[in-house]
Chains A and B, each alone.
Chain A
Amino acid sequence: MNTAADLAELEKRWADPPGFLGWMKTVDHKRIARRYFVTALVFFALAGLMAALMRLQLARPENTLVGPDLYNQLFSMHGTVMMFLFAVPILQAVGVFLVPLMIGSRNIAFGRLSSFSYWIFLFGGIMIFTAFFLNVGPEAGWFSYVPLSGPQFSPGKRTDFWAQLVTFTELASLIVAVQIVVTAFKLRAPGMSLNRIPLLVWAEVVTSFMVIFAMPSVMLGSSFLISDRLVSTQFFNPAEGGDALLWQHLFWFFGHPEVYIIFVPALGIISEIVSTFASRPAFGYLALVLALVVTGFLAFGLWVHHMFATGLPPLGMSFFTAASILIAIPTGLQISCWIATLATGGRLRLATPLLFVVGFFFIFVIGGLTGLMLASVSLDSQLHDSYFVVAHLHYVLIGGALFPLFGGFYYWFPKLTGRLLSERAGKWNFWLFFTGFNVAFFPMHILGLKGMTRRVYTYGADRGWGDLNLLATIGAVTIAASMIVFAINVVVSLRRGQRAGENPWGGTTLEWATSSPPPSYGFAQIPCVDSRQPLKHGKEALAWVVGLPTLVRTSLVTRLHDAAPDHITVDPEPSIWPFWTAVAVSALFIGSIFTPWALVWGAIPVTVALIGWFWPKHEETERTNRIEVKPDESRPARFLESAS
């Protein structure tokens, strides 16, 4: 089994067509995820530059580097891009890349959808940056509160571009969320029952469900906003029975889960890294999974704590205070489990991935503590809209998501590219980032307590905020330096990094059972799983699946609870139609900023492209029919023994 001829057959079936057209058509989750990573990192760099520009402006009082109008656009873009075009997409892309590999599947479910999702994400990003460079960038902050973002106070097209960016990115996210759920539920390797699913996969599943329930709220909200602005609906206009707080509810019903949508995948990354570098399974698997699920539920009961300053009824405030404090419990539980894992495992290897996790512990605990402070209504009323909040949110987001993400990047970079990142540069990257981060953001707590409000483009010299602001700017420059080290490390390691081999860290999950980078078909044979750590005794101890037809692209579908083999599914072939559909949908979205008729006429090319996407090809159907086994003619799967 698994001869060179078999592999050549698999490669022929799964390889993308050559050249640029093949690149456009690909449905390979690994290529698409890589594309997501690169694009999201470019957006990250651009949004980071905007932050640097803001820090330079604030470095001394009454600075004139950036005027108020540009400053409004800078902070609005920075928040919008970091949340919608960097954090969510890149952490979902981690799932697109790793979920199929960790569960032993050849591809993600509905491969063409991930291709479509990527193009939508890319076009949305290009749209908002084009708008920004043409001086029609968003200006009302990343949560665009009405009435500031309404037709009266934000005339022109700036906020319309913002609203449509939300539509673009949420569409892309929702699609990936469904794909990840279906992949993790139905495409797991035989034997990977629910209680053997890797923790990162659980985290991505919980995240995906949160996306499914949270993102519709903001899509609806942004549609209401843009229709208030363009066709004079009155959703948010109090003069005609509308309500400005409705926007805040719709936004934060998404916006708070959003924080956890970013944070939960990071928790999964930490579990994997901690377990590998402590050389033992994660302590308290069940507790960790349940903590993720509980976090997913509780995240929907917190949104009003962003609205404590709006004068809501006291009973509501008490409820949301309690929920906000409650969510510290599952997080605390997970941190305890990780510490137990590190304490009881083998000799710790303090490589860069683990270093970033340790950095996470430190920063995130501080961010969590200020979160508890802000959960109290009385304190929040004082600190609302001050730099204390800016400090808090960067501690939880950078500490909670970015540090684990960087750790994950160092950990899985060899799987992605076949080469290891330099450890020496990695240490520099970490220490510069860690130091720079605390120097930049810790002073902001004090600035907030001293009364500095967020989103001011400058401040008077008599306020006495100059020194701490200068310190924060020095921290920001240090962070920039750490990012330059990171970029150089990636570029140099891509060419000259140490070759990784299949399993450079001694991981025990399935992604380490295939070559680095994995072949187009993921695994030469699909492994059978009989424990939570399938690679604990090496690849040789595993059983392997045989008998998957290679005349078409096929994957094995297994049952939800016990992952028993159920049937074979035919995977989609590469197609250019997801690209054209994305072009048509983008034209509709962007066109609707200028005329509501775009929704009508724009629907025609979308329909045509979708038909092109769906319509089966004769040649493919003919091959599919040759391997077809009807449900009533089938035989169950069975184990074979053979001496090698």
Chain B
Amino acid sequence: MNDEGTPSRRFLDVSGLPTYAFGHRSLMWWGTMGIVLIESTVFAIAIVAYFYLRDRSFAWPPHSVPPVLLYGTLNTVVLFLSTIPNHWTKHQADHENLRGVRIGLVVCLLFAAAFIVIRWFEFGALQTSWNTSAYGSIVWALMTLHTVHLVTDVIDTVVLTVLMFTGPLAGKRFVDVSENAVYWWFVVGSWPFIYATVYLAPRMSP
């Protein structure tokens, strides 16, 4: 209402606003952050459980030797290197460069495939089984948790890659690629903590 008797209504015209946006402006970024918060909490609590159990043991690892360093360390290198194509792909997506996104996604997938193959050997070199002791159980739990996240993100990336080749495409799909890259950062970022716990902690005297 302005003056008495002549009500006027005010309107906010939003017709010129973009129909999608990147980064923390988009809902998808916030949704991804929600998942990252949840999953970080899962990892953190699992790591706390590891040290809780270690604190209550006389020998760590009990009746066994620590996991072989080779494969886990190799995988750490692969994972860190994968951030390069991952970041490049995100950059291509943010600039809506379809050709770049396609190349980037395929390269990312090659890195992920290499990682999964080495992960297979990692499980073989853990030097413990999930059912021999609480130590074995929590080591397998940490490795399985990380692998599940890895595999989930790989499946997600495969679907996105196929979509980017076949369509139907819209501008907002580039936001999906961009957020997928953000999630990969989480998969990479969570690994050093698990690596340190699984591979280094048993090598240090409690």
Q: What is the interface of chain A, defined by CB distance below 8 A to chain B?
A: 1, 109-110, 174, 177-178, 181-182, 185-187, 190, 212-213, 215-217, 219-220, 223-224, 227-228, 231-235, 237, 240-243, 246, 249-250, 253, 528, 540-541, 543-549, 554, 556-557, 565-570, 607, 611, 614-618, 621-622, 624-625, 627-631, 633-644
Contact = CB atoms under 8 A, between A and B. Distances in A.
A215 B35 CA distance: 13
Nearest to A617: B168
A241 B50 CA distance: 11
Contacts of B46: 220
User: Top 5 A-B pairs ranked by shortest CB distance?
Assistant: A635-B16, A547-B15, A178-B34, A543-B10, A233-B137
B136 A546 contact: no
B27 interface: yes
Contacts of B170: 616, 621, 624-625, 628
Contacts of A617: 168
Given A187-B27, A543-B10, A637-B13, 15 more contacts: A178-B34, A181-B34, A235-B53, A240-B134, A243-B52, A545-B12, A546-B13, A566-B17, A567-B21, A567-B25, A622-B168, A625-B171, A629-B17, A634-B16, A639-B11
B134 A567 contact: no
B16 A249 contact: no
Interface stretch (B82-90, B104-112, B125-133, B193-201): B125-133
A558 to B, nearest CB: 10
Given A224-B141, A567-B21, A639-B11, A241 B62 contact: yes
Contact of B21 (A234, A541, A543, A557): A557
Contacts of A181: 30, 34
Contacts of B131: 231-234
Given A243-B56, A569-B20, A621-B170, A543 B134 contact: no
Contacts of B74: none
DSSP class of A's interface residues: helix, strand, loop or mixed? Answer: mixed
A216 B45 contact: yes
B21 A219 contact: no
Interface stretch (B36-44, B65-73, B114-122, B181-189): B36-44
B1 interface: yes
5 contacts: A227-B130, A227-B141, A548-B15, A568-B14, A568-B19
B27 A109 contact: yes
B19 A545 contact: no
Interface residues of B, number: 60
Nearest to B9: A644
Contacts of A634: 16-18
A547 B163 CA distance: 31
A235 B137 contact: yes
Contacts of B11: 1, 543-546, 639-642
Nearest to B130: A233
Nearest to B42: A216
Interface in B173-191: 173
A228 B39 CA distance: 22
B97 interface: no
A17 to B, nearest CB: 21
Most buried by A among B22, B134, B141, B163: B134
Given A611-B159, A641-B8, A643-B8, A109 B41 contact: no
Contacts of B7: 540, 643-644
A621 B176 CA distance: 14
A541 B17 contact: no
B27 A243 contact: no
A182 B160 CA distance: 23
Given A190-B12, A543-B10, A237 B134 contact: yes
Nearest to B159: A611
B31 interface: yes
A557 B27 contact: yes
B138 interface: yes
Contacts of A215: 38
Nearest to A603: B151
Nearest to A557: B27
A228 B130 CA distance: 10
